[in-house]
Each structure stands twice: as structure tokens, then as C-alpha cells.
Amino acid sequence: MTSIPSRDELLRSDQRSRGLPRPLLAVLLGHHENWAFDVALERTCGFGGAAPFLPAYFPGRCGRAYPF
């Protein structure tokens, strides 16, 4: 696993004016996606008011293969 540099390390970098490096952004995005997936699995509220809109959201073939 790639480690995330500390703030001080990022500020000392000679590339600090360019923003965060792409590999670091990729790692942070992966961590965020894992967090969002875990949060979504914890929810028990179901689809609620979104249920009528779900069939229109997915393409026809996908919606027919996996109906709600």
C-alpha cells in the first residue's frame, strides 16, 4: 500500500506549487471510494423516494436483465 505523505512533506516538496501529485490523488480517491462503499452498505433506508427514478437511470438492457 502506498503511504500518504504528511503535510510537512508535501509543503517541503519542490513541486508544491503544482498541487497534489496524481499518484497521491489516485490513492486518496481509492480510500474515499472504499469509505463511501462502506457507508452505503451500512444504510438500511433502502431506495425510499428514489425508487420511481431508478428504472430510467439504468440503460434498457441492464434494467431488463436486473429488474427492481
Overall number of domains in the chain: 1
Residue 2 domain flag: no
pLDDT of residue 49 exceeding 80:
no
Task: Examine residue 43 and state whether it is found in any structural domain, yes or no.
Answer: yes
Nearest to 24 by CA among 12, 35, 39, 10: 10
**1 assigned to some structural domain:** no
Q: How many whole angstroms separate alpha carbon 44 and alpha carbon 67?
A: 20
Which is nearest to 20 in space by CA: 6, 30, 29, 10?
Answer: 10
Q: Is 2 a residue whose pLDDT tops 70?
A: no
36 vs 68, residue with greater confidence = 36
- Structural domain that includes position 42: 7-65
The model carries a pTM of 0.51
Residue indicated by cell numbers 510537512: 8
Give percent above pLDDT 90 in the chain.
16
Q: Which residue type sits at 33?
A: E
